Amino acid sequence: MRGAQLAFAGFLFWLVVVACSGSESEPPVAQVRSALTTSLIATKDSEVDEGHPHPSYGAATSMGVHGKTVRAIVAFDAQAVSRLSSSDARVELTIVGAASSNWGAQGRTVGIFTLTHDWSELGATARCSDDSDTSNDAADCSGPTAWDMRLGSSPHPWVEPATSTTIIKKGQTGTVVFDVSADLARFRSGTPNFGWLIMKDLGENGNAGDVEFSTRTTSTPPLLVGAALMSTTAASAMIGTAGSAMRAPKAKEAATQRLRGAPTARTAAPRASARPASARRQDACSATGRTEAAARTAIHAR
């Protein structure tokens, strides 16, 4: 909400500039649309471990990529994702501490892959998408609740090649970013959205490379960041609200003149001392500018 308020305040400022410069061009609806950036927090995340195929790690505070045997999985609310633009959409994962020292001199490639099978956060394991009992050493699943996360499995529950890749280097800290714009376009065209698998890219050999990412239960959860789609109606409503705010000083001045019994513009005779229209317009612009600045200050204060 606060981001939308800031975007609106910034757009109102743009309208003030245009009005005061005398431009008659239409407000850029597309510009309003792209100004609202949304960050979605993951609705579920976990990891699957080929070496320990039956436990669930969905309640952990981190999820790892360790060689080729441990991989992270993450998903976001499908309905919310459908309201994001497919241009410049990205998944952001925060590294816990720092990447280990076994990523090689040049680093190693990690990819993000689209999942083709639904799963549950507390039931996903290397053998089941929803294991009914993760406390034992067995795969308690079948049919729609089963999957096989082994690299040699066929069919496996992800799409190849990776949607996008990044290089992770030894000692790396901060945020790892994956471009998923192509996947959002596919989701919008009807491809089911079950989230993503994060693992070392298919061309990477060996089992070196360890890194942990924070999960949604922490203060640095996985994020899906993109521009929020806004309908033309909503954008026009925002523009109309801003236009009303700009017209307010003039309307107030006209109402005050009527209450005082001042002659209207239709009957008043020109007076030599009357201020030019350009000066009156500048007054209105200054007042609107002060109103917009106050709004921005109030929003930031929150």
Q: Please report which residue ranges of 193-231 form alpha helices under DSSP H.
A: none
pLDDT tens-digit map of 106-118: 999 999 999 999 9
pLDDT tens-digit map of 217-242: 999 999 999 988 755 555 455 455 54
Q: What is the pLDDT of residue 88?
A: 86
Closest alpha carbon to 84 in 210, 188, 191, 199: 188
What does the alpha-carbon distance between residue 247 and residue 284 come to, in Å, rounded to a whole number?
A: 8
Which one has a higher pLDDT value, 12 or 176?
Answer: 176
* Direct distance between the N- and C-terminal alpha carbons of the chain, in angstroms, rounded to an integer: 11
Q: Can you tell me whether residue 45 is helix, strand or coil?
A: strand
Q: Residue 230: phi, psi to the nearest 5?
A: -130, 130
Is the Cβ–Cβ distance between 228 and 85 less than 8 Å? yes
Is the Cβ–Cβ distance between 111 and 198 less than 8 Å? yes
pTM: 0.68
What does the alpha-carbon distance between residue 181 and residue 183 come to, in Å, rounded to a whole number?
A: 5
Q: In angstroms, what is the C-alpha Rg of the chain?
A: 28
- With tokens 């705010």, the residue in question is 245
Q: How many CA atoms lie within 13 A of 160 on its CB side?
A: 10
Q: What is the pLDDT of residue 236?
A: 55
Q: Which two tokens stand for residue 132?
A: 């009914």
Specify the pairing of strand 70-75 against strand 196-200.
antiparallel
How open is the CA angle 186-187-190, to the nearest 5 degrees? 90
pLDDT at 199 over 80: yes
* Rounded mean pLDDT, 95-101: 97
Which one has a higher pLDDT value, 113 or 29?
Answer: 113
Which one has a higher pLDDT value, 20 or 66?
Answer: 66
* Rounded mean pLDDT, 121-138: 97
- The CA-atom distances, in angstroms, between 251 and each of 257, 258, 265 are 10, 11, 13
Q: Where are the domains of the chain?
A: 2-36+231-248+274-301, 37-227
